[in-house]
Amino acid sequence: MSRKCNVLFLCRANSARSVMAEALLRELGAERFEAFSAGIEPAADVHPLTLAQLRPTMGDLGKVRPKSWNVYTTADAPVMNVVIAMCEEAGEAHAPAFPGKPVFCQWNFADPLEAAGDEAEQKRVFEQVFRQILRRISVFVALPLQSMQAGEQRVAVNSMDEHAPPSIASE
């Protein structure tokens, strides 16, 4: 397969985790992947602490903006090869039907929007989640997805979660 693999990242507000994943995949896997993100109830804007994490290392942040997952259910939407839920509530059981037959995978990351504490603690949590997503995307881009069958893709992408770093609460 010579075309790029379309990957959609889903979460609740599409202002932190899924945006980080989209931007990181665009940066680290641009030759093989097209990255997209969406949310169940999209926020008005990308969270400022998300942008603070992305800005130092990312090129163009102009494409990252919160949008509804319904954007990707229309007939003229790009057909996704892989859909990755970044939280339980955006999982396959709750998600709308997307065109084509994308492989649906689940990665669970703590929601940095729920971080308690002062501004320094919130920044620390956003940085921690960013690093966790960066590690996961770094492994993801190395997978030979285009040479795998759908079932193999799902197992490979989901099994990355088995070795996930501990949640924020336990660190």
d(CA 125, CA 170): 12
* Residue among 54, 45, 67, 50 nearest 16 (CA): 50
Work out the pLDDT band at 143, boundaries 50, 70, 90.
Answer: confident
Q: Enumerate the domain spans of the chain.
A: 5-170
The confidence score (pLDDT) of residue 59 equals 67
Of 58-67, 72-81, 89-98, which range is least confident?
58-67
Per-residue pLDDT at 117 exceeds 50 = yes
Q: What angle do CA 2, 24, 43 make, to 5 degrees?
A: 115
Q: What is the dihedral of CA 32, 34, 40, 44, to 10 degrees?
A: 130
User: Mean pLDDT, the chain, as a whole number?
Assistant: 86
Work out the pLDDT band at 160, boundaries 50, 70, 90.
Answer: low
- In this predicted model, what pLDDT tens digit does every residue of 84-109 receive, in sequence order? 999 999 988 899 999 988 999 999 99
The residue with tokens 């285009």 is 146
Work out the pLDDT band at 69, boundaries 50, 70, 90.
Answer: very high
Work out the pLDDT band at 57, boundaries 50, 70, 90.
Answer: confident
For the domain made up of 5-170, the CATH class stated in words is: alpha beta
Average pLDDT score over residue span 125-147: 88
pLDDT above 70: percentage of residues in the chain: 82
Per-residue pLDDT at 18 exceeds 90 = yes
Work out the pLDDT band at 56, boundaries 50, 70, 90.
Answer: confident
How far is the CA of 15 from the CAs of 18, 20, 45, 129, in angstroms? 7, 8, 7, 13
The confidence score (pLDDT) of residue 1 equals 42
